[in-house]
Amino acid sequence: MPPLSTSAPGVRQADFRFRCIACGDLSDRASQDFRCSHCGDLLEITYPLWKESAPEAQTLRATWRQRRLSQSAVDLSGVWRFRDLLPTLASDDQAITLREGNTPLYELPQCSRIAGVPRLFAKHQGLNPTGSFKDAGMTVAATFARLAGFRWVACASTGNTSASMAAYAARGNMRSLVLVPEGKISWSKLSQALDYGAVTCQLRTDFDGCLRLLQQLVLRAPVYQLNSLNPFRLEGQKTLALELLEQLDWQPPDHIIVPGGNLGNSSAIGKALLEMHSLGLISRLPKLSIIQAEGANALVRTLREAGGKRLVSVQAETRATAIRIGNPASWKKAVHVLEATGGACAQVTEAEIAQAKAEIGAEGIGCEPASAVTLAGLKMLVKLGFVKPEENVVLILTGNLLKDPDFTMEFHRGDLFKDTADESATADLNSLRRPPIVLDATLDAVIRTLEQAEKQPAEKGQAE
């Protein structure tokens, strides 16, 4: 008999509706492509009952704390533990959960010195069950897919969404269809989808091409789409911010910095911050900033060239393949959260991404390249004076170091930028490189190597 979950008296589960982000149309149902039936724009989930009787902040905090002592599956999930701010389940055992969330908040003292801020934290979403932040959204969206009676779920992906979707589909006894760009995602991510039993199609196109095709597919075949266009995904991803603020004892940091690809995650975190603020869980809004790779900078250009009014798409190219996206679906939602929280949007170079990734790795934390744009972006925002020298910052690390071992190996071997325009820009990164050393299997050889390593200067920013 599974243990019972906890819900304090007076905390009612949230009831929801879909709202179009452009025309504001409210409805109880969403079409297969999750677009407004009137104007075709994206939908978001809204909780109309909060207008009359919003859940009380003190009660919510106490309930969420109390649930940490429970052994029930929904309370052990770092997502469903916050279910009072999620769409309602008729019963707790409907949730498809792998105990996602519950991710650590690490302090990064070396990186904070490098960036020039007093305290720097990393919320490591790469420590989720399938190694990325996608699991927080997937547990919710997969659950609602199964409740809607779907046998098949599908996504277009740069790798992490597909790994996560395949796992949750398998746990929920659904079948999954993955569309990924051929040759442009890491083997680690692809292999996860295979192992979790997905039907995996490598399409001869990029991520944007895969997503376009999926949007057509869901209108023709009974498959439920689990990309971040699906607003249930974003509700789950909101909990990253709830858990973060709980870890900070509800004292908001000055800045939260997140990578931007398809722009679902930044939209979700922004929505969570705005909801927490309106419910009185936090007294002020942190600035939420979004960082993109220079070669996949659609949002940067949308703001710079079109004032955030229309999307400026790009032909995306970056070694941070998770964010190799030129036509981000949730750009309007992202523009809204930037405006609402006063955040910035910036781009960083390939060399800056590689450097930041090695610096995070050198703290014993590690992340995948797309996550490292946050530290590279922070350095830039400090230089620009947007982040002040006395302000506290949280970086959202979205994926695990092991997600892209090729990038890491090529960086340390010095091959990452070989014969590219970035080669000279990265010459000064040598102090961060730790290539593997092939030796004869003798004690002498190992001792000599140890002695040589001892003579090497400590890394930039590392304690002497």
The footprint of ligand F0G (CB under 6 A) covers 132, 134, 157-161, 228, 259-266, 322-323, 368, 370-371, 398-399
Q: Which is nearer to ligand F0G, 141 or 370 (CB)?
A: 370
- For residues 115 and 394, the answer to whether their CB atoms sit within 8 Å is no
CB atoms within 10 A of CB 111: 25
Minimum distance, C-beta of residue 380 to ligand F0G, in the bound complex (Å): 18
Minimum distance, C-beta of residue 57 to ligand F0G, in the bound complex (Å): 27
Minimum distance, C-beta of residue 344 to ligand F0G, in the bound complex (Å): 16
Minimum distance, C-beta of residue 314 to ligand F0G, in the bound complex (Å): 14
The DSSP secondary structure of 220-283, one letter per residue, reads HSSEEE-STTSHHHHHHHHHHHHHHHHHTTT---SEEEEE-SSSHHHHHHHHHHHHHHHTTS-S
Q: Which is nearer to ligand F0G, 76 or 242 (CB)?
A: 242
Q: Which is nearer to ligand F0G, 137 or 172 (CB)?
A: 137
Q: Return the residue matching tokens 């589960």.
A: 13
The DSSP secondary structure of 400-463, one letter per residue, reads -GGG-HHHHHHHHHT-TTTTSTTTGGGGGGGGG--------S-HHHHHHHHHHHHHSPPPTTS-
Q: Which is nearer to ligand F0G, 67 or 319 (CB)?
A: 319
Minimum distance, C-beta of residue 80 to ligand F0G, in the bound complex (Å): 21
Q: How distant is the alpha carbon of residue 6 from its chain centre?
A: 28
Strand partners, 105: 123
Q: Which is nearer to ligand F0G, 159 or 253 (CB)?
A: 159
Minimum distance, C-beta of residue 2 to ligand F0G, in the bound complex (Å): 32
Instruction: For residue 279, give the DSSP letter.
Output: T
Strand partners, 292: 347
Q: Which is nearer to ligand F0G, 292 or 349 (CB)?
A: 292
SS3 label, residue 140? helix
Minimum distance, C-beta of residue 274 to ligand F0G, in the bound complex (Å): 17
Intra-chain end-to-end CA distance of the chain, in Å: 55
Q: Which is nearer to ligand F0G, 74 or 298 (CB)?
A: 298
Angle at 250 between CA 249 and CA 251, to 5 degrees: 90
